[in-house]
Amino acid sequence: MVSQSSEVDELTNYIYDMLLDHELKNKSAKVKTTLKTVLLNLYSVHLSDPSLFIKYSRDENFYGKRLRRYVGNSIAYSSFITKIIPGLLRLRLNEDHRGFHDRREFGNAYLSRMRAKPKLIRLFELYGIQPWMLFVFEDKEVIFLKDNKKEFTPHKDTSFTNKAREDLQHINRHLEAAVIDLDLSDEAMTDLLRKLRKIDPGEKYLSMFTDKTLRRIFSNSSWKLHGRFYGGFWQNIPERKKTIIKGKEVKVPVRYRQHILINGDATIELDYSSFHPKMIHDLAGIEMIGDPYEGIGDLDREHGKSIFNKMINAVGKDKAESKEKAIGAYMNEFNNEGITKVAATAALEAVLERHSQINKYFFSGKDFTHPTEINTDRFHIDAKTGTDAEGHA
């Protein structure tokens, strides 16, 4: 987040002066720049939902030169972790929780997180900070690459990355210029935010002020794996909710997305059922019969869809490692249900049995080649289709 507003600068200077002779022994332009970025992000998330947190890394390597293109120049490790975070805590301006790593098999890692306290919120109001004062830095990186451990990794630009970045920056400029909103009542918006917190506390939120631009993330250190779009607030809007019907918990559609407005105009979302399984069958030259997510052992459609797609995405150094990745991802998604490794393995085997004709497409994203000779996997095809469509919108 960036801002050229004098009100933001005045607030930053006020808090910066309170760090001097405490966490900050000497004046530092780098600390002031980092502080301004932190304050803008705290304000942005507060606007979205005051109960939510910003996630951040305490790993010094994350802020080093190796990943500088992803982090940007406005955040410095020493300034952020050793001066600003302690200073905001001393001044009682933010709430902070340290992250940890669950060492159990398939355990999750949890990043540190923070949010503004009422004292800082009052300062935002006192200095007259407004949503229109915030905007996204235009030259920020929009093309990301992860390794097989799902960690960001540095890369050298190629003709592909340069073109992909140029295309997406063009799209983002148009998104930034547009007014994208949800035409919901206060009651409906409160209900939506409550659902988002329940789905993924601390991560899922709506920021219609700032989360309007997109980025693409590729996987397994390859520009041919994934490359899907992330970042738009509309992507966090749930499509289904859980409810009880005849004593059984089921998921039913919710219709929030139909209320998206662009520059005051109504929108229509095109939804293609079982789109990715259909792509796979098309690539295999096989007609898809019935719902591909049903008839998978004793799984319901939600669990069948989940394990099916986990098996497409999971790519390891060999099939055994790929299977382990799919099993782990499936267990993590339904962590609240206590699914065991035995049950997850059985679900995986049930998919292989149900879809024996397309088995070769599981665990091998690099083998997805489009009939038009686009060398890419299903998400890369999906993403290219999206780029073409948005570029001509």
Q: Which residues pair with 20 in a beta bridge?
A: 24
Using an 8 Å Cβ cutoff, are 336 and 387 in contact?
A: no
Q: Which of 103-112, 157-166, 293-302 has the lowest average pLDDT? A: 103-112
Task: Kindly tell me if the per-residue pLDDT of 125 is higher than 90.
Answer: yes
C-alpha to C-alpha distance for 252 and 232, rounded to whole angstroms: 23
Using an 8 Å Cβ cutoff, are 165 and 175 in contact?
A: no
Task: Kindly tell me if the per-residue pLDDT of 179 is higher than 90.
Answer: no
Q: What is the DSSP letter of 246?
A: T
Give me the chain's average pLDDT, please.
83
Task: Kindly tell me if the per-residue pLDDT of 138 is higher than 50.
Answer: yes
pLDDT (tens digit per residue) in 191-200: 887 777 665 5
Burial of 299 (0-12, 13-18, 19+ CB in 10 A): buried
Between β-strands 112-116 and 54-56, what pairing exists: parallel, antiparallel or unpaired? antiparallel
C-alpha to C-alpha distance for 268 and 249, rounded to whole angstroms: 29
C-alpha to C-alpha distance for 240 and 257, rounded to whole angstroms: 11
Closest CA to 309 of 378, 383, 387, 368: 378
Q: Give the pLDDT confidence score for residue 13 in this predicted structure.
A: 96
Q: Rounded mean pLDDT of 246-266?
A: 82
Q: Rounded mean pLDDT of 146-167?
A: 91
CA distances from 108 to 35, 93, 111, 315 (A): 29, 29, 10, 19
0.95 surpassed by pTM = no
Task: Kindly tell me if the per-residue pLDDT of 96 is higher than 80.
Answer: yes
Domain boundaries of the chain, sorted by first residue: 1-135, 138-271, 275-362
Q: Give the pLDDT confidence score for residue 235 in this predicted structure.
A: 84
